[in-house]
Structure 1
Amino acid sequence: MTGSFEKPLVTFAVFACNQEPFVREAVKAALAQTYSPLEIILSDDCSDDNTFTIMQEMAASYKGPHQIRLNRNPVRRSIGGHFNTVVGMASGEFIVVQAADDISLPQRTLVSWEAWEKSERRATSLHTDFIQIDIDGQEIDPVFKNEEKYEPGQLMAQLVDPVCYAKTLKPILFGCTHAFCKSLFNTFGNLPDDIVHEDDVIGFRSVLVNGLFYINEPLVKYRLHDTNMYLRKNQSGLDIKALEQNEQRFRRDIRNRETMYAAFLLDLQTAKSQGLIDEQVFESTHQEVERLRKQYHLMGKYLDSGFFRRLYFFQQLKQSRQGDFYCTFLITRLLPRPILFRLRLLKHRFALVNRKLLFLKGLPITKRTAS
């Protein structure tokens, strides 16, 4: 390996928002990165707690070789806007990202940079395997399964049809493991400020330029806890308040998906105008992405409407999809929410009673997923 003076400057960015219990460990992991030269950006999205104060204290006391830069957004910018700010600050062409509740292993940046060089810098997005931990940092059985069947440590180019990626969002790029090239932002521009699924949007950009790569090595400890959006949306509510919160999260997720596919459409237009994809790929992908954007748009309209308008949007959704999964899922929401929530509570309580009876009889208990 060449000396550090011949290596390019890499940026390691820690994104934080109201993560006071975890940020100290996250920053410590950033400062412990073995790659050099390294620029570390500690960025806070206008937290209400002491997250940024901890970042400031740790930056002030750091005596190591890395360059430390601090940023605090004066107003909350959400994920897309926060990414735009940090990418605009970054001096490195290659950017490794970490949330302030996750922990990067010390070799993460070095291994990612070596993979980028091995790809001859064709990798515009690099993602890796990861370890899953609980709120206390203890390793847990994986909630999210690794679907990639490669040799340990193997670097693989993931050549994906853009239509397939739009339909499935696979191969799944977990943002907690993401490193990407700043050139994606130079080519496609900033993310929409209100984007939440930034990893899917940046991943789609890399699919369009054939730059999506995967390293089959765990380089990040991904923390799952009660404020983690992917964990909490799968939890069953136990009372009316919890059910209402879950319903609001579901509505936000529908809107976020619509925003994501709208961003896909913009990036497709850019790819076409710059000659990155041919006309046939553009047309087929644009048709599928627009269908998905419309689907989530109709779902949002459905959820925001009264009973009779819901019947109209329900019919529109039924006609626009193959299969009946969403129709089955949404039909229950024709009911007024207070009635729907009480029926769900009754179902939940009945399931608890049934489980207790089975336990008392010594019979096996089958775990069922709440609808």
Structure 2
Amino acid sequence: METNPHVTLIMFSFNQEEFIEESVRSAFAQDYSNLQIIISDDTSSDETFAIIERLAEDYKGSHQIKINRNEHNLGVGRHFAFIMEELADGELIVACGGDDISHSNRVSRIVEEWLEHGKPALVAHALEEINEQGEVFEGGRTIQYRYQDHSLLSNPTLALQDYLKNQMPVRYLGAAIAYRRDTYLRFGTPLAFPDFEDHVMFFRALLSEGAHYFPEVLVQYRRHQNSFMAAPSKRKIVKPGEIFAPLLHKGETVRPNFVNDYRLHQLATQQWLDLRAAIQQGLTAVDYQIVEELWAMLIARQKFLLGNQGITLKSLFRRFRNFILGTSNTNVRKRIELNYVEPLKVVLYGAGQAGRNALSRLSPGFQVEAICDSNSELHGTRVEGIQVISPQTLKELSEDIDSVLISSVFYYEIKSALMDKLGISEDKIVRLPHKVITLRK
């Protein structure tokens, strides 16, 4: 059994000259042997990086030390992506901030739990909160960890559903988690670059190899007036990712009092991209409730930003043209256009009344490419403008779609036929909720 995998401890720093030395020394004091330590500074304007340089130069231990100072400020999202793709090389990544203090056995205990529980995508542990003077106090995160239901992690689908309903505060803070580097690489660069790397990795973990929590305090999480969570209104917004080109045109900005709303929209966008990637890679099956919840969140957040003029637009005409005009892949509804993300491509099984009901109520997170039915008399006809195809044609299309949605009360019979006769993967077959196929509009 593997006992000593290569681990990277990453420390983010930015204008933390008061706390950085204690944080760096706690990283250097780790008792785990096969350890790379990366301290990456996001262009601090104070003495933070000078302190890092001095401590790194004086270090005489056995850990591999790598320090970095970005040429210009990247912001949390891009800084995280740069570290993961250009600097870190460990199999497991242990994260911390430049103001937090890790216990000397933190990495060792994380590795023990990670190996014991089958190398899940993410490992989280307990923390204690300290103030600027280093005094322990019982704050909101301490109380959260005491009362939140950690047992949900045993069922990733339930954990995902619960998380999407109650995303804030994040279940497990970045200062008290570790994650597999290959989990990050499997999903790729977070193109929306949200400033919530802990949210990103927790969500990716639930979509892949799951997460594990153990209630041992291994880090002191510092709360102070300049910490990330303390003063969100003071944080500047960096250049948005290319994915938001249709949302933020050249020269347009986000109003200061809407910065947090924009960041939450970045997060929701990234979660959709990751969900879609996980489905297409076969890491997770389509769950109608999760798709409906996440797509509705995307629409709501975009409408809020646009409707409240959180985004300053040069042209009201362009705003109208790009965002307010409704489109519909089923020609039976109008919807806000999210033209920087793609819905899931699906085939709806059932051209009868249940199928028509589904078309009128289906979440726009699904793009219906065709309707399949076993009744040969319907093949080649159209329902609400969508072509009805045969089961054989569905078989030919199965590799190009994300899911087959069953709009019939005969779900099990249809599922059996799709799997046994057409060879369609069980993960691609989704049962639509009863209300979707029985309620008429």
Post-superposition Cα deviations, 1:2-23, rounded to whole Å, max 9, x if no partner, equal 8xxx612111111111111111
Structure 2 CA distance for partners of 1:95 and 1:248, relative to 1, 3 Å:
same
1:295 paired with 2:300, answer yes
Structure 2 CA distance for partners of 1:141 and 1:185, relative to 1, 3 Å:
closer
2:164 match:
166
1:266 match:
273
Instruction: Name the amino acid aligned to 1:208.
Output: L
Paired with 1:42 and 1:51, the residues of 2 have a C-alpha distance of 11
1:228 match:
227
SS in 2 for 1:229: coil
Structure 2 CA distance for partners of 1:82 and 1:99, relative to 1, 3 Å:
same
2:180 match:
181
Paired with 2:26 and 2:214, the residues of 1 have a C-alpha distance of 20
SS in 1 for 2:217: strand
SS in 2 for 1:33: coil
SS in 1 for 2:19: helix
Paired with 1:42 and 1:54, the residues of 2 have a C-alpha distance of 11
Superposed displacement of residue 191, structure 1: 2.1
Q: Looking at both structures, which has the greater relative contact order when contacts are Cα pairs under 8 Å and sequence separation is at least 6? A: 1
1:304 match:
309
Report % sequence identity. Answer: 29
**Number of paired residues?**
291
Aligned partner of 1:141 among 138, 143, 161 = 138
SS in 1 for 2:230: helix
SS in 2 for 1:20: coil
Post-superposition Cα deviations, 1:212-265, rounded to whole Å, max 9, x if no partner, equal 11111111111111112323469xxxxxxxxxxxx9765211111100000011
SS in 2 for 1:11: strand
Paired with 1:105 and 1:184, the residues of 2 have a C-alpha distance of 25
The structure that is helix-richer by fraction is 1
SS in 1 for 2:216: strand
Post-superposition Cα deviations, 1:34-93, rounded to whole Å, max 9, x if no partner, equal 111111001111111121111111011001111101111111111111111111211211
Higher CA-based Rg:
2
2:67 match:
70
Structure 2 CA distance for partners of 1:135 and 1:193, relative to 1, 3 Å:
farther
Runs of 5+ in structure 2 lacking a partner? 234-253, 317-322, 324-334, 336-441
Give the alignment's TM-score, normalised by structure 2: 0.61
Structure 2 CA distance for partners of 1:42 and 1:301, relative to 1, 3 Å:
same
Paired with 1:302 and 1:65, the residues of 2 have a C-alpha distance of 56
1:255 paired with 2:251, answer no
SS in 2 for 1:14: strand
Paired with 1:146 and 1:164, the residues of 2 have a C-alpha distance of 15
1:205 paired with 2:204, answer yes
Instruction: Name the amino acid aligned to 1:127.
Output: A
Paired with 2:20 and 2:42, the residues of 1 have a C-alpha distance of 13
Runs of 5+ in structure 1 lacking a partner? 235-246, 314-319, 321-371
Could you list the runs of 4 or more consecutive aligned residues of structure 1 that deviate by over 6 angstroms after TM superposition? none
Aligned partner of 2:103 among 81, 100, 105 = 105
Give the alignment's TM-score, normalised by structure 1: 0.72
Structure 2 CA distance for partners of 1:133 and 1:119, relative to 1, 3 Å:
same
- Kindly indicate whether the alpha-carbon contact (under 8 Å) linking 2:232 and 2:260 is maintained by their aligned counterparts in 1: no
